[in-house]
């Protein structure tokens, strides 16, 4: 029997589909019309919106608090029904607390309970197409295609991590494999005899043994302890996010929101020709677009720490703390030793390191964009083998002396002289190149 409901296409929603959902919600369209365009069942659209919508709380310094749920009656929507008095401690006051102009209910009343919009309990479950959204005083529930896609990808990744077996199936495998392995049998031999009883691949079995899931250990395998372990890259997998704990991009935004006058410095590296070791460590002051550049012998944590220690000695710990209070960088292996970067040789806290989200270089896009000035002089594929500290400083001074539209016709050097402590310029040898002499072509270094 045909129910008239659109049939699903059995495919996962992608970013383009989520953008279409967001656009239709903003227009106030029904789940059914969205489902028809995407060839989905309306229930799929409903689940997607409820699962991936986000609450956008009002700012704490908003001019008025969220209305109290105890002061609302749907039959009398414009009437104050709350009779609570004296919550501020003034027993002589004759006014109801809800009418008081000295204090806000949310600050003094123990009965205060933020009101939630009743419309969110029924389709479309979000505020996207609501006509009262602009002036609404309550927290808003929004469907954002970008947030929905990020949530979906995170869930898809985490759901595939770990051991995809029940404790009972693991125990069954252990009872089968461990005794045979301890007899010296190979995995290939066991699979040939018991393939129907093993519900996973050989690679998975090796992984489980390596993790210590079974009673059998690596030493029980014939060749595991004989072969030398292959050298692995020194990068830490982003699945092991211990170095990012409490220092992700979300925490970075929270910190600068609470400390608005702080200097924010973006940090990255620029590589030379493939297969060569020297590279540049770059730092970029957001408030004035001034870039610093240091020559590294190789891309290692040790080299980056050396530059930090050198800057600390050159500037002094107090000036370093002032200029480099917050540093935002990527998840590269050379920045993952957070302890050595944040603390000086004397164990003094000198900075706070935060990390962009994986594969989100746009979160420090100002520095990424500024790297193009380096490439004007040293195009991609150019080796940095012949670069010295002197030529690096020369290139840096020419880059910082170029006047920019984004700085109203001024150069980063000029603006930095006004916004930064000038001891930085003196210590690092930063100097202004006359406007007509600024050179940003390969001939500068050659």
Q: How far is CA 271 from the centre of its chain?
A: 23
Phi-psi map region of 17: left, alpha, beta (phi>0 left; psi -120 to 50 alpha): alpha
Shared domain check, 296 and 182: no
pLDDT tens per residue across span 429-445: 999 999 889 888 888 98
Shared domain check, 284 and 141: no
Shared domain check, 184 and 97: no
Q: Are 255 and 326 in contact (CB under 8 A)?
A: yes
Tell whether the torsion through CA atoms of 10, 15, 20 and 25 is positive or negative. Answer: positive
Last residue of a domain, one of 99, 122, 155: 155
Shared domain check, 281 and 247: yes
Last residue of a domain, one of 155, 179, 196: 155
Quick check: is 3 in a domain?
A: no
**Residue 392's domain is classified under what CATH number?**
3.30.420.10
Q: Please tell me the least confidently modeled range out of 72-76, 210-214, 408-412.
A: 72-76
Q: What is the pLDDT of residue 229?
A: 59
Of 394, 391, 393, 398, which is closest to residue 433 (Cα–Cα)?
398
Quick check: is 230 in a domain?
A: no
Shared domain check, 281 and 175: no
pLDDT band at 239 (very low <50, low <70, confident <90, very high): very low
**φ, ψ for residue 438, nearest 5 deg:** -60, 125
Q: Is it the case that residue 2 has pLDDT exceeding 60?
A: no
Residue 365: domain span = 242-444
Per the confidence metrics, is the pTM higher than 0.75?
no
Q: Are 66 and 106 in contact (CB under 8 A)?
A: yes
Q: Any idea which residue has 């010296």 for tokens?
A: 184
Q: What is the number of domains present in the chain?
A: 3
Q: Is 170 helix (H, G, I), strand (E, B) or coil?
A: helix
pLDDT tens per residue across span 42-70: 999 999 999 999 988 776 556 677 888 78
pLDDT tens per residue across span 404-423: 888 888 999 999 999 999 99
Q: What is the pLDDT of residue 237?
A: 47
Shared domain check, 288 and 418: yes
Distance spanning both ends of the chain, measured CA to CA: 79
**φ, ψ for residue 76, nearest 5 deg:** -135, 70
Quick check: is 395 in a domain?
A: yes
Q: Any idea which residue has 């898809």 for tokens?
A: 156
What is the Cα–Cα distance from 146 to 120, expressed in whole angstroms? 21
Shared domain check, 437 and 297: yes
pLDDT band at 133 (very low <50, low <70, confident <90, very high): confident
Average of per-residue pLDDT across 111-139: 86
Shared domain check, 116 and 68: yes
Quick check: is 2 in a domain?
A: no
Shared domain check, 286 and 139: no
Of 54, 266, 254, 273, which is closest to residue 143 (Cα–Cα)?
54
Quick check: is 6 in a domain?
A: no
Shared domain check, 428 and 285: yes
Shared domain check, 429 and 321: yes
Q: How far is CA 201 from the centre of its chain?
A: 34
Q: Which helix (H) or strand (E) holds 292?
A: strand 291-296
Quick check: is 407 in a domain?
A: yes
Which pairs count as long-range contacts for 305-313, CB under 8 Å and 24+ apart, including other chains?
305/337, 305/340, 305/341, 307/281, 308/340, 308/341, 308/350, 308/351, 309/344, 309/345, 312/344, 312/345, 312/350
Shared domain check, 248 and 127: no
């Amino acid at each position: 029997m045909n129910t008239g409901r659109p049939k699903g296409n059995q495919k996962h929603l992608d970013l383009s589909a989520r953008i279409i959902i967001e656009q239709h919600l903003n227009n106030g369209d029904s789940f059914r019309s969205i489902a028809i365009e995407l060839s989905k069942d309306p229930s799929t659209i409903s689940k997607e919106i409820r699962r991936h919508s986000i609450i956008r709380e009002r700012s704490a310094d908003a001019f008025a608090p969220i209305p109290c749920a105890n002061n609302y009656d749907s039959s009398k929507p414009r009437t104050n029904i709350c009779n609570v008095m004296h919550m501020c401690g003034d027993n002589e006051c004759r006014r109801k607390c809800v009418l008081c102009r000295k204090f806000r209910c949310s600050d003094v009343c123990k009965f205060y309970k933020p009101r939630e919009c009743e419309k969110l309990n029924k389709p479309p479950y979000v505020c996207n197409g609501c006509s009262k959204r602009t002036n609404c005083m309550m927290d808003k529930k929004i469907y954002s295609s970008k947030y929905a896609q990020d949530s979906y990808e995170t869930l898809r990744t985490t759901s595939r991590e770990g051991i995809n077996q029940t404790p009972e199936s693991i125990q069954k495998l252990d009872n089968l494999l461990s005794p045979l392995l301890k007899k010296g049998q190979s995995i290939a031999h066991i699979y040939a005899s018991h393939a129907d009883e093993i519900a996973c691949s050989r690679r998975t079995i090796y992984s489980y043994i390596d993790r210590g899931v079974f009673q059998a250990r690596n030493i029980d395998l014939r060749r595991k302890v004989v072969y030398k372990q292959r050298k692995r890259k020194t990068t830490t997998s982003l699945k092991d996010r211990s170095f990012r704990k409490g220092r992700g991009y979300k925490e970075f935004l929270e910190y600068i929101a609470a400390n608005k006058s702080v200097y924010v410095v973006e940090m990255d590296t620029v590589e030379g020709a493939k297969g060569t070791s020297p590279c540049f460590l770059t730092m970029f002051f957001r408030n004035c677009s001034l870039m610093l550049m240091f020559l590294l012998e190789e891309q290692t944590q040790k080299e980056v720490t050396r530059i930090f220690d050198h800057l600390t000695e050159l500037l002094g710990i107090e000036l370093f703390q002032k200029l480099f209070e917050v540093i935002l960088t990527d998840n590269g292996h050379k920045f993952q030793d957070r302890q050595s970067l944040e603390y000086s040789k004397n164990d003094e806290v000198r900075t706070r390191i935060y990390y962009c989200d994986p594969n989100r270089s746009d979160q420090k896009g100002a520095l990424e964009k500024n790297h193009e000035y380096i490439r004007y002089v040293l195009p991609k594929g150019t080796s940095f083998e012949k670069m010295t500290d002197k030529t690096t400083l020369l290139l840096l001074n020419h880059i910082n002396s170029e006047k920019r539209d984004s700085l109203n016709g001024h150069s980063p050097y000029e603006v930095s002289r006004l916004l930064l402590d000038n001891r930085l310029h003196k210590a690092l040898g930063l100097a202004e190149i006359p406007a007509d002499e600024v050179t940003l072509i390969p001939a500068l270094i050659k």
